[in-house]
Amino acid sequence: MKTLAKAVTASVLVLILQGSVPYLLGTSHVQAQSPPDATVSDAAMGKMNTYVEFLNQTLRASESLQRYDSWVDMKKGPTGKERIIYGMYSLYDVRELAGKALASAQ
């Protein structure tokens, strides 16, 4: 029975935090919430998309280094006796994306 009481209490708390209680109680004294400013959201979303695109294109360099690290002792370098040698990944030209990321940071 205590478990049921805890579950009901937790559910009511969630509904209170979500602002759904007035609807459940049948009261119509709910204040209208204005929608968030779409231009601010679009600008922030555009900025984040620029950063994510830049990050996705530059991750290939760190993946290439990890691949090299998988078969080489990074402190000593290659010995020439390695049986398995993985090549490096090709990298993308990110100069344009770096410029966009720097511009959006300002």
Taking only the tens place, the pLDDT of each residue in 36-76 is: 666 667 888 888 898 999 998 889 888 999 999 999 999 99
Which letter does DSSP use for residue 77 in this model?
B
Question: What local confidence, expressed as pLDDT, does residue 38 receive?
Answer: 63
Question: What local confidence, expressed as pLDDT, does residue 39 receive?
Answer: 67
pLDDT band at 34 (very low <50, low <70, confident <90, very high): low
Alpha-carbon distance of 106 to 99, in angstroms, equals 11
Question: What local confidence, expressed as pLDDT, does residue 14 receive?
Answer: 47
DSSP secondary structure string for all residues of 9-65: HHHHHHHHHHT-HHHHHT---PPPPPPP-HHHHHHHHHHHHHHHHHHHHHHHHHHHH
pTM for the model stands at: 0.50
The predicted-structure confidence for 67-105, as pLDDT tens digits, reads as follows: 999 999 999 999 999 888 888 888 888 889 889 888 888
Alpha-carbon distance of 8 to 1, in angstroms, equals 11
